[in-house]
Structure 1
Amino acid sequence: MANSIRVAAAQMTSVNDLATNFATCSRLAKEAASAGAKLLCFPENFSYVGSLQGDSIKIAERLDGPIINKYCSLARESNIWLSLGGFQEKGSDEAHLRNTHVLIDDSGNIKTTYSKMHLFDVDVPGGAVYKESSFTEAGNDIVAVDSPFGRLGLTVCYDLRFPEVYQQLRFHQNAQVLLVPAAFTTVTGQAHWEILLRARAIETQCYVIAAAQAGKHNDKRESYGDTLIIDPWGTIVGRLPDRLSTGIAVADIDFSLIDSVRAKMPISMHRKPIEFWKSV
Structure 2
Amino acid sequence: MMIRVQVAIHSLQYFKHYSVQGTRTIVSMSNPLAAICQMTSTSDKNKNLETICSLVNEAKQRHASIAFFPEACDYLADNKSSIVEMAEPLDGSTVTAYKKLACDNDMWLSFGGVHEKLGNDAERISNSHILINNKGDITQVYRKIHLFDMENKETGVRLMESDYVQQGSEILPPVTTPIGKLGLSICYDIRFPEISLALRNMGSQILTYPSAFTYQTGAAHWEVLLRARAIETQCYVIAAAQTGAHNKKRVSWGHAMIIDPWGAVIAQCAEKTGIAVAEIDLEILNKIRKNMPCDEHRRTDLYPVIQPLK
Note if 1:85 corresponds to 2:112.
Answer: yes
Note if 1:116 corresponds to 2:144.
Answer: yes
**What does the per-residue CA deviation read over 1:215-267, in whole Å, with 9 as the maximum and x for residues that have no partner?**
00011111010000000000000112x2x200001000001000010000001
What is aligned with 1:140? 169
**Aligned counterpart in structure 2 of residue 217 of structure 1, from 232, 236, 246:** 246
Matches of 1:90 and 1:47 in 2, distance apart?
13
**What does the per-residue CA deviation read over 1:32-65, in whole Å, with 9 as the maximum and x for residues that have no partner?**
0100100000000001001333211111111111
**Aligned counterpart in structure 2 of residue 165 of structure 1, from 182, 187, 195:** 195
**Aligned counterpart in structure 1 of residue 134 of structure 2, from 83, 106, 115:** 106
What's the C-alpha RMSD, in Å, of the aligned pairs? 1.4
Higher alpha-carbon deviation: 115-124 or 94-103 = 115-124
What is aligned with 1:66? 93
**Aligned counterpart in structure 2 of residue 234 of structure 1, from 259, 263, 267:** 263
Aligned AA (1:79): D
Matches of 2:171 and 2:178 in 1, distance apart?
20
What is aligned with 2:291? 264
Aligned residues of 1:3 and 1:255 also touching (Cα < 8 A): no
**What does the per-residue CA deviation read over 1:108-143, in whole Å, with 9 as the maximum and x for residues that have no partner?**
100101000000111257461211001000111112
Matches of 2:130 and 2:205 in 1, distance apart?
18
Aligned residues: 272
What is aligned with 1:54? 81
What is aligned with 2:51? 24
Aligned residues of 1:104 and 1:110 also touching (Cα < 8 A): yes
Aligned residues of 1:11 and 1:211 also touching (Cα < 8 A): yes
Note if 1:151 corresponds to 2:181.
Answer: yes
Aligned AA (2:124): H
Matches of 2:303 and 2:287 in 1, distance apart?
31
**Aligned counterpart in structure 1 of residue 61 of structure 2, from 29, 34, 43:** 34
Matches of 1:16 and 1:110 in 2, distance apart?
25
How far did residue 91 of structure 1 move? Answer: 2.5
What is aligned with 1:177? 206
DSSP-derived class of the 2:80 partner: coil
Aligned residues of 1:3 and 1:256 also touching (Cα < 8 A): no
| Deviant stretches of 4+, over 3 Å | 124-127
Aligned residues of 1:126 and 1:187 also touching (Cα < 8 A): no
Higher alpha-carbon deviation: 85-94 or 223-232 = 85-94
How far did residue 3 of structure 1 move? Answer: 6.7
Matches of 1:161 and 1:111 in 2, distance apart?
26
Normalised to the residue count of structure 1, the TM-score between the two structures is 0.94
**What does the per-residue CA deviation read over 1:136-168, in whole Å, with 9 as the maximum and x for residues that have no partner?**
001111122112211101000000000000000
What is aligned with 2:37? 10
What is aligned with 2:15? none
Matches of 2:89 and 2:236 in 1, distance apart?
31
**What does the per-residue CA deviation read over 1:82-114, in whole Å, with 9 as the maximum and x for residues that have no partner?**
000101001251100000000000111001010
**What does the per-residue CA deviation read over 1:9-49, in whole Å, with 9 as the maximum and x for residues that have no partner?**
00000010111000000000000010010000000000100
Aligned AA (2:148): F
Normalised to the residue count of structure 2, the TM-score between the two structures is 0.85
How far did residue 4 of structure 1 move? Answer: 2.0
